[in-house]
Copies of this chain bind each other. A is one copy, B any other.
Amino acid sequence: MSTMDVAKRYVELVKEQKNEEALEELFAQDAVSVEPVAPPGQDRTKRGVAEIRAKGEWWIQNHIVHGAEVEGPYPHDDRFAVHFTYDITFKPENKRFTMNEIGLFTVKDGKITKEEFFYPT
């Protein structure tokens, strides 16, 4: 698949909250996922699909999603960007807020090899 094909499919799945399917279908086994800062007690970089899946599961277990908007994809060569806006409650603190971030994805040989998230820390 071309970068734009991967990008469109990623956005299609994530809009339906099928992040797990996106990971299985579109990510390289050794893909890396990088946050701007390390979550408490975690590394900021996850290496490989298993670690990325575990991060996603942690996120789902700890948040209630009241609303989500996914804008994009915005391509440039072998990369694409996506703008995420989530209205969520962080369950451990019962704190509701809007999470606004950009994801930057790198594609190689039809698979996502890197995702990097951009947001104020």
> Which residues of A pack against B, CB within 8 Å?
4, 34, 36, 71-77, 79-81, 83, 100-102, 104, 116-121
Contact = CB atoms under 8 A, between A and B. Distances in A.
B83 A83 contact: yes
Contacts of A75: 36, 118-121
B36 A117 contact: no
16 contacts: A4-B120, A36-B75, A36-B76, A71-B83, A71-B100, A72-B102, A73-B120, A74-B100, A74-B118, A75-B121, A76-B118, A79-B118, A81-B81, A81-B104, A83-B102, A102-B102
Chain A: interface secondary structure? strand
Given A73-B120, A74-B119, A81-B104, 14 more contacts: A4-B120, A34-B76, A36-B75, A36-B77, A71-B83, A72-B102, A74-B100, A74-B101, A74-B118, A74-B120, A76-B104, A76-B116, A76-B118, A76-B119
A118 B71 contact: no
A33 to B, nearest CB: 12
Q: What are the 6 A-B residue pairs with the smallest beta carbon separation, nearest first?
A: A74-B118, A81-B102, A76-B118, A74-B102, A36-B76, A81-B118
